[in-house]
Structure 1
Amino acid sequence: MRNVAWASAAGPPIEAAEGPSRSFGELCARQQGAFSRSQAIAHGITDKVLARRSRVRQIQQIHRGVYAEFTGPLPWATRVWAAWLVYGPDAALTGATALQWYGVDGAAGDDRIHLALPHSHRAIQRPGILVTRHRGYETQLHGARTPPIVRLEVAALVRASADPSTSRQAALLLDVCRQRATTPERLLAELDLLTRLPARQVLRRIVLDAADGVQSFLERIYLRDVERAHALPPGRRQVRAASKDGSGVHVSYRDVEYVRYGLLVEIDGQAGHSDSASRWRDMHRDNISAISGKLTLRLGYQLVTEPCVAAAQVASALHRSGWSGTARACSPGCTAASIAV
């Protein structure tokens, strides 16, 4: 990577028209090294200078009329700015690109830069950029971000609605809530405004589950396919628990707790359980529960393929603790009711 000293491009540094004492070099730095031909010309850098610097590989062209002030691989942030410069001030980051810009973990989607335009604008697709047109575009923008970007809730819902997989839709929306990037209440409020969004009702059910305390795809499978489908008593979710030992007070959260029956259910996927510290924290939490007289059941990815077996195990544990109900068969071939005795 090789940066350009723009002070020598066309004499002394030329101040930017858009702000006091902002040189062209500072403008490029703000835009992660990307700049447009029109910006260069506004700062006194001619087409002849741009052509010469491109020829000697001091700058590189990214798109027609858009450059990077260095050569070599393009960082993701530079590609984002370059894509935005192609479409001008009316474009905004959206979808997976917006989520990644907000810093949401695991938000990266395909390699394209996702941009939104007002519905009245003509969308000409360019390589490496996915442009979508939106009704009510102006009302979806975050008011104080550069480059312009839709609100995080809009980005998450747009990204989820574009995915044909319900499981991936759930994973995304539950993740942004679990990471505290937003809340189910904000997502529901945004859904009320996005009346034309594809898969809107499916997304609403997912967000309502998040409002009930579900934080992961597996927890949603448990709620829907184990607890509700087999008429088990409703559990409380993400229950805060504190314990004290010689090293201080330890706070943890129970995935599902059947408080009346002293039964805990922990849903173990990869997230939060893949390192030694997490496993030790889980063991400590389970030991404290056992000491207090509570039984802990652990369920994992078998929930996806064997929810009836999981329902039978939970129902059996509930019966031992005094539950007098009966697990309901979720389908003609379900054996949960006959096993859970």
Structure 2
Amino acid sequence: MTTVSAPRDPRPDIEELADRQQHIVTRRQLLTVGIDDMHMYRQTRRGRWQRVLPATYALVSGTLTDEQRRIAAALYVGRGGQLTGPAALNWYGFRYAPKVDRMHLLVPHGTRRASAGHVVVWRALALDEHARDAGLYQICSPARAVVDACRGLRDLRTVRSVMAEAIQRDFTDLHALDEEVIRAGRSRTALVRQAFAEVLHGVRSSPEAELRACLSASRVLPEIIWNPRLLGPDGSRLPTPDGYLPDAAIALEVDSQEFHLAPADWRRTMDRHNELSRYGVLILHFPPSQIRREPERVRRLVEDAHRSRRASGARCEVLVGGPSSTENDKKGPFLTPQQPGRRSIR
């Protein structure tokens, strides 16, 4: 009598693949190891697996992690796809990146893949030459991801925050951002170009940009230097204020509550205040909420202080040595706004 053995469960054949891809696999991979469509259907219907994207399965139930969703997106679009936009910024650890459910992937222009599920397919004539390899997928460079993310935003405050954070935390530099703004051209880049122009002038946060916009409407104040490199009379480095009016020795500080919750942060702010004050600098502090809700009052306070200091002949020993560029001064790199032979702010 011939004994017929029971069919072998095909799942052990994909254990290594599943472990390597965090339990995300494609239909083609399943077929390669001998698992047919009927078995995929049964496992999915029983709730043991789940269909994440067309022809893309998670061999687990429950909510997927962000990493599993990134892997699924990359497997779905195929080789050559590059994660960009807000999802890429979240991967890098941007604090002010918008939280979105959908993931944007750049693919070669001739790729025949449509957007589906949580994946938005962007066809591009040129992919990012500086993309980073994350193992199972590629991540666009921070500069490309910043510009791509900001092109999809309609809120100038968020665009400012993302653009400023990219420089403030040294995710990228102005040269790289400049290249990406030029590459994007005029396609949905009005807010991008406005925020980038502010960064070029030294602004390093969204509240700073709002203060700059508030004070730029003044007919009294002279040009304000943003994030200057200040020196003492002996050439020693001094703390860098957010803005500075050299003719009246007035420093402007935007004090966000989130950076003053810890005692150490508060002491650091006081030390900066005292260090500038002992050289004769007047420091004016403004919370972002006041700049946003009472711009006329903020502008009037600065104008009155400037007028009073000028009338009293206030003297100060502080020298302006140029833009700040050190992490100790809480600022990122700063470049000359225009380079010979090229423009990105049009």
CA contact (8 A) 1:141 1:148 kept: no
Report if the CA contact (8 A) 1:161-1:199 is conserved.
yes
Alignment match, 1:4: none
Separation in 2, partners of 1:225, 1:77? 41
**How does the TM-score come out when normalised to structure 1?**
0.75
Q: Check conservation: 2:151, 2:188, Cα contact below 8 A.
A: yes
Which secondary structure state, in structure 2, belongs to the residue aligned with residue 73 of structure 1? coil
**Correspondence for 1:266:** 253
* Number of the residue aligned with 2:152: 162
C-alpha spacing 1:262/1:46, structure 2 compared with 1 (3 Å): same
Alignment map for 1:89-108 (pairs within 5 Å): 89-108=79-98
RMSD of aligned residue pairs (Cα, Å):
3.2
Instruction: Give the one of 281, 293, 296 matched to 2:268.
Output: 281
Match of 2:226 in 1: 237
* AA matched with 1:162: G
State the secondary structure of the residue aligned to 1:156: helix
Counterpart residue number, 1:205: 194
* Aligned structure 1 segments of 4 or more residues deviating by more than 6 angstroms: none
Q: How far apart are the structure 2 equivalents of 1:68 and 1:251?
A: 55
Say yes or no: does 1:191 pair with 2:181: yes
Alpha-carbon offset, residue 242 of structure 1:
9.5
Instruction: Kindly state the Cα deviation for residue 316 of structure 1 after the two structures are TM-superposed.
Output: 2.1
Q: Structure 1 residues 28 and 234, CA, compared in 2 at 3 Å: closer, same or farther?
A: farther
User: Partner amino acid for 1:137?
Assistant: A
In the alignment, what sits opposite 2:299?
A: 311
In the alignment, is the contact (CA less than 8 A) between 1:62 and 1:82 conserved in 2?
yes
* Equivalent in the alignment of 1:302: 290
Distance (whole Å) between structure 1 residues aligned to residue 238 and residue 39 of structure 2: 62
Task: State percent identity of aligned pairs.
Answer: 25
User: How has the CA–CA distance of structure 1 residues 242 and 73 changed in structure 2, closer, same or farther, with 3 Å as cutoff?
Assistant: farther
Match of 1:151 among 126, 141, 160: 141
Q: Shift in Å at residue 88 of structure 1?
A: 1.7
SS in 2 for 1:131: strand
Q: 1:225 aligns with which of 214, 233, 239?
A: 214
- For residues 218 and 20 of structure 2, the distance between their equivalents in structure 1, rounded to whole angstroms, comes to 53
User: Deviations 1:146-180 (Å, cap 9, x if unpaired)?
Assistant: 41233221221121121122222222212222222
Question: What TM-score do the two structures reach when normalised by structure 2?
Answer: 0.74
1:1-341, aligned counterparts within 5 Å?
A: 10=10, 25-47=15-37, 50=40, 53-54=43-44, 57-134=47-124, 136-139=125-128, 142=131, 144-146=133-135, 147-200=137-190, 202-227=191-216, 229-230=218-219, 232-239=221-228, 252-300=239-287, 301-322=289-310
Matches of 2:219 and 2:143 in 1, distance apart? 33
Cα shift at 1:66: 1.4
- Residue 328 of structure 1 is matched in structure 2 by none
How many Å apart are 1:266 and its aligned residue?
0.4
Cα separation, 2, equivalents of 1:41 and 1:242: 69
Report the Cα distance in structure 2 between the residues aligned to 1:32 and 1:70, rounded to whole angstroms: 10
Which whole-Å deviations, capped at 9, do the CAs of 1:86-132 have from their partners, x for residues lacking one?
Answer: 22224321211111122222324321122223344445232222223
148-157 or 49-58, larger mean C-alpha shift: 49-58
Deviations, residues 8-51 of structure 1 (Å, cap 9, x unaligned): 954876xxxxxxxxxx5454344333111212333455556645
Preserved contact between residue 114 and residue 129 of structure 1 (Cα < 8 Å) = yes
Change (3 A) 1:50 1:292: same
Residues 175 and 11 from structure 1, CA distance in 2 versus in 1: closer, same or farther, beyond 3 angstroms?
closer
310-319 or 136-145: bigger deviation: 136-145
Paired residue total: 300
* Unaligned residue ranges in structure 2 (runs of 5+): 1-7, 313-346
- 1:215, CA displacement in angstroms? 1.1
Q: Secondary structure at the match of 1:138?
A: coil
Query: Residues 302-325 of structure 1, C-alpha deviation per residue, up to 9 Å, x if partnerless?
Result: 22243332222112222333279x
Could you give the per-residue CA deviations for residues 264-315 of structure 1, whole angstroms, max 9, x where no partner exists?
1101234423444322321232233333322110112222243332222112
